[in-house]
Amino acid sequence: MGEDAFVIQLLSFYLFAFMVIASAVMVIMARNPVHSVLWLILAFFNAAGLMVLLGAEFIAMLLVIVYVGAVAVLFLFVVMMLDIDFAELRAGFVRNFPLGLLVALILFVELFVGLVAYNAGGLVPDSAAAAAQAAGAIDAGGASMSNIEAFGALFYERYLFLFEAAGLILLVAMIGAIVLTHRRRPDAQRSQQDIGRQNRRRPGDATVMKQPKVGEGVAL
């Protein structure tokens, strides 16, 4: 790799990384929840860019298609349907801030501990290394084979049976959701307009002319 390519890679890394952090901060700082979701989408996009830099283009695609395409849009719909009292939201933020900070601290310490543990080595048992070697038929192509090809080879060859079965599980989930929520509503049918009936209707069907005398009411 040439010097220029390296510089470009470095620059784009810092760009993506900065944008991820900045938009993540904006997700929690934005007052309007709709804006938060939009910032979140930006964060996903930049994370996808980072993945591309790492050479993990499959995960990058997943991020864009699944998270940006489906999950974030779903979030947007949900957020738009919420009726949020913004003042209350901010009060809650201040009150819960120490708790949130604590959770964040714990997560950070865990991450740190995990990193130290990983660096110390010895976590990978011999059998795992052997299994990794045995699976090398697919992994060995790492240099020449792209991520997507490697995933495809695993999904459609080694795990074909399970891949199809997972598809059936999703189908079952879909059937279940429909069975439990879908219902034919006779009242929904009735509320629809019946043009024929509307046209057949004459003034005489709906209105009555009365000529009450002065001082007397109308019998209804």
Partner 1 sequence: MANFSSFYFTGAEILLSLAGLVLLMLAAWSGDRSARLVTALACAALIGGAIFSYDLLTNPSYELGGDAFGGLYRMDAFGSFAKILVFLASAACLVIAPRYFEERGGYRGEYPVLILFNAVGMSMMVSAVDFITLYIGLEMSSLSSYVLAAFLRSDQKSAEAGLKYFVLGALASGILLYGISLLYGFTGSTTFIGVGAAMAGDLSTGQLFGIVFVLAGLAFKISAAPFHMWTPDVYEGAPTPVTAFFATAPKVAAVALTARVAMEVFGSQSDAWRQIVMTAALLSIVIGALGAIGQENLKRLLAYSSINNVGFILLGLVVANEAGAAAMLVYLFIYVAMSLGSFVGLLMLRDTEGNLYETFADISGLSTTRPLMAWCLLLLMFSLAGIPPLLGFWAKFVVFQATVEAGLVAFGAIAIAASVIGAFYYIKFVKVMFFDEPAGVVTGKGGRGHWAVLAICTLIVSPLGYLLTPALDVLAGKAAAALLIAS
Question: Of 1-9, 64-72, 178-186, 190-198, which part binds partner 1 (CB under 8 A)?
Answer: 178-186
Out of 70, 101, 162, 194, name the contact with partner 1 by CB under 8 A: 162
Distances (CA, A) of 118 to 86, 110, 165: 43, 12, 34
Distance CA 220, CA 206 (A): 14
Q: Residue 46 class from Cβ within 10 Å (0-12 exposed, 13-18 middle, 19+ buried)?
A: buried
> Does 132 engage in binding with partner 1 (CB under 8 A)?
yes
Nearest partner of 141 among 131, 130, 153, 129, judged by Cα = 153
> Does 82 engage in binding with partner 1 (CB under 8 A)?
no
> Does 101 engage in binding with partner 1 (CB under 8 A)?
no
> Does 124 engage in binding with partner 1 (CB under 8 A)?
yes
* Cβ closest to partner 1, residue 84 vs residue 117: 117
User: How far out from the chain centre does Cα 167 lie?
Assistant: 19
> Does 140 engage in binding with partner 1 (CB under 8 A)?
no
> Does 137 engage in binding with partner 1 (CB under 8 A)?
no
Distance CA 133, CA 155 (A): 19
Q: How many CB atoms lie within 10 A of CB 161?
A: 8
* Cβ closest to partner 1, residue 32 vs residue 133: 133
Q: Residue 41 class from Cβ within 10 Å (0-12 exposed, 13-18 middle, 19+ buried)?
A: buried
Out of 96, 171, 194, 201, name the contact with partner 1 by CB under 8 A: 171
* Cβ closest to partner 1, residue 90 vs residue 158: 158
* Cβ closest to partner 1, residue 109 vs residue 160: 160
| Contacts to partner 1 by CB under 8 A | 124-125, 127-132, 157-162, 165-166, 168-169, 171-173, 175-176, 178-180
